[in-house]
Each structure stands twice: as C-alpha cells, then as structure tokens.
Structure 1
Amino acid sequence: MGESALRLRFTIGEVSQILDIPVDTLRYYDRIGLLPPRERETNNYRYYNLEQFDALITIRMLRAMEVPIERIQELLKENRLDGIQGLLKEKGEEIARRLVYLNRLSDKLGTLQVQLKRFEDTDTVEVVKTEPAWVLLTDSIMESSDRKLGSRVQQQVRRIHSSQEWLAFCHVISIVSKDNLLAGRYHNYLNNGILSTQPMSGDSDTFSRLEPRYCARKYVVIDRDHYAMLDDHYERMKVYIDRRGFRIDGHSLEINLYNQNDKHYIEIQIPVAEK
C-alpha cells in the first residue's frame, strides 16, 4: 500500500480542519519554531506528518491549561519527563482549587437568587435560624474619627490568603448595637464590615465566625441616600418581636445583598430569644 493511500502527510488546511486549529495559529507555530511542518516542497506547500498530530494535540492541551508558548517550547525540547510531570501536578492542584471556587460560586448564585426573590414581599417579618457566617469587622466607618481607618481596612483585606476568591462571595454589613436598637437609634452603627457564608478557616486571625442564631428577618428596599426609610422597618420588626413573645437578644445585622444606582436591597436580622 503506497504512501498516498496511507495519507501520512497532510496540508496545513487539512490539519486545521481535522484538529480544529486555525491556520493562522499553525503558521504562528511554524514561524516561532514550535512545530514547523515536517515537509516543505519547492512550491512552498507545507505538509505535516501523521505523527505530528500527537504533538499538536499536546500543545492544544497545554494551551487549554494556559501554559505560555515559551514554556511549551521548553517542555517539548526536554529529554526527560520531570518538567511535564511537575507542570501537570501544579496544574492539577490549580484546577482543583478552581473547581472548589466554581462550586462555591454556584452555591452563592443559587442562594442569592432565593434572597432576591424575597424582595417581592417586603412586608413580611419572620423568625429564622441563620446559617454560620464569617465576618471581618471594623469600627463604624460613618462614625469613626480615625482618618486612617480606610487604609487599615485595605491592609486587612490584603492579608486575606484567598482574598480575590473570597471577596466574590461577600456582602457589606452594618451592625446596630442592642442598646441603640432598644433606644430607636437605628443609624448609630457599632461596626461595619464584610460577611460571607463561605468558610474562612485559613484566615482565623482576620475573620470571626458568626454562629447560627434565631433572628427576626426582614427584606427591605430603600432609596439611595435615604437610610431614614429603615426606621419604619425596624419599628415594625420590634412590634412583631414583642407580639410573638420574643425579646431582642443581640446586635442587629444589616446585609447589603444588592445595590443599584438608586436603590439598596438589604436583609435585616435582629437576634431574638424567648421572653
């Protein structure tokens, strides 16, 4: 059986169609010496041998893992497997971390969809047991006289070992003390900070765990710069708590779930206990 029957060589266009690699990409690989065609005829036609398909598939796999072209060139020139084995181990660990991140992001999206659905009814107050959460608290930004507070908060966030990923799951929070709640001072904040339901066990020196607790909960929509609208919601929550035979048992938590240009969507939690 002759070579033509075996089809041991292929034009650049045929390779492009078979492996779904753009012709321009193949020409680039040729130009930089990464994988030049094995044969080049006098008419400048370039042909790839069948065995080069394996190399091209390997290159595409490495590019899918975002390995730089320069590193791929080094790997293909090596005579040992140490380099590729080390790279695959590193990429495997990176993909595993990414999968954890994507799974957490999927969970977060599902939770946020449920939470945003509840803003269709902002009259309801209910008693619920909250999920554990992790918080980074600062002095109240609105009330602190420390001009360097913003810089200190930035430094705290920079120290988070996985800040870029964790910050994708967080919300800004404000805390009103129990004493201020009882006195009707709903805008004297004890703390500000950020909160997430994603575990932060690796940064226990920066974050504190907020344990599950029973809370009166209400979903509130207010206009931007009109936080006085919260007063009525707090008053209605206090009436509900009293009528249900509960008492306020801790500081309230305002969680900013979503912001638009002119509206804020807030979940209010007030810890409660039986009288």
Structure 2
Amino acid sequence: MKIGELATRTGCPVETIRYYEREGLLPEPARSSGNYRLYAEPHAERLRFIRHCRTLDMTLEEIRTLLDYHDHPRQPCNAVNGLIDDHLAHVEARIEQLQALRQALATLRSRCNGETDSSHCGILQELAQPEARELPAEAGEPSHVPGPHGRH
C-alpha cells in the first residue's frame, strides 16, 4: 500500500508517518519501480502501536524502548513495567502541577468582577505585580513550572 492508504487506514497524517520513519520508529518501506513507498501490514500494525503510545503521552524515547521490547519478545518485561511506572509518576506530577495552575487561575479570576474599566481590572493589576517565583532561581533551576510538555 502507498503512504496515503497507510495514513487513511491508521488515521495518521502522511507527514507524521515520514517523521516516524526519520526517527527510526517505523522501518523504511520497500520502494516501487516509480520510487513510491510501499508499506505492508506490519507497518500499519507498528504505526498503530506507536500511535497508541502517543495517546498515552509517551515520549519518542519511551516508544523506542517499548518497540525494542516488542521486537525482541524473549526479554524480561520488568523494564517495561519500570518504564510505565516512571511514566505514571510523571503523569501524577503533571496532574499536581495542573491542579496548582487551576487554583492560581481561579484565584486570579476572583480578583475582577468585570464591572470596571480595564485600568482598574484586578486581574491585570495582579499580573503586573512581581511574583515570588520570579526571584533568582538556584543554579540551573528554572524559575517557573514547566507546561504539560515540559519534560525531556
């Protein structure tokens, strides 16, 4: 099958398929005499595996590790458990960060009732104030909480 058909069958955009090939997650397909990529069912299965991992917000490195275990089924799976445990811990930390962010936004929202002009807006006044988080960070430490995709 050509790349367009693979994209349709898996719900994965063509550019993402090419990206996964460049990253070495998806093996290079055979080529037709006209130099078209020709994919087989194993490509679709692997792409579905990768996409499932991405829906779980796994990094490419985590996916690469899981694919290695998938491709070499005689390996003990304790490392797979460890990878998932680590990922779960990351998700838990992110949930805590997001809950703190929600609370900070709710507090900020409570500063304005919307019944005045913006020169007296409590939200804008609060945002203009320096925050404790903006104090110099210790060596190498960021002065803000990373966003949801801030991990390496």
TM-score range for the pair, normalised by the shorter chain length = 0.5 to 0.7
Query: Which of the pair is proportionally richer in helix?
Result: 2
In structure 2, relative to structure 1, the CA distance for the partners of 1:75 and 1:44 (3 Å cut) is same
In structure 2, relative to structure 1, the CA distance for the partners of 1:103 and 1:31 (3 Å cut) is closer
1:106 aligns to what SS in structure 2? Answer: helix
Contact kept? 1:37, 1:47, Cα under 8 Å: no
Compute the displacement of 1:94 (Å). Answer: 0.7
Query: Which of the pair is proportionally richer in strand?
Result: 1
Larger Rg: 1
Equivalent pairs, count: 123
1:116 to 109, 112, 117: 112
Show structure 1 runs of 5+ residues with no match. 1-9, 123-135, 137-152, 167-275
In structure 2, relative to structure 1, the CA distance for the partners of 1:107 and 1:115 (3 Å cut) is same
Equivalence for 1:59: 50
In structure 2, relative to structure 1, the CA distance for the partners of 1:66 and 1:35 (3 Å cut) is same
Q: Which has the higher contact order (CA 8 A, sep 6+)?
A: 1
Sequence identity, in percent? 28
List structure 1 runs of 4+ shifted beyond 6 angstroms.
none
Compute the displacement of 1:98 (Å). Answer: 0.8
What is the aligned-residue RMSD (CA, Å)? 3.6
Q: How does 1:137-148 map to 2 (within 5 A)?
A: none
- TM-score in terms of structure 2 length: 0.58
Task: List per-residue Cα deviations over 1:47-70 (Å, max 9, x = no partner).
Answer: 33334333212223444525135x
1:164 aligns to what SS in structure 2? Answer: coil
2:38 aligns to what SS in structure 1? Answer: strand
1:72 to 63, 73, 76: 63
Equivalence for 2:14: 23
Show structure 2 runs of 5+ residues with no match. 121-131, 147-152
- TM-score in terms of structure 1 length: 0.36
Contact kept? 2:50, 2:63, Cα under 8 Å: yes
Distance 2:66 2:16 in 1: 19
Does 2:102 correspond to 1:102?
no
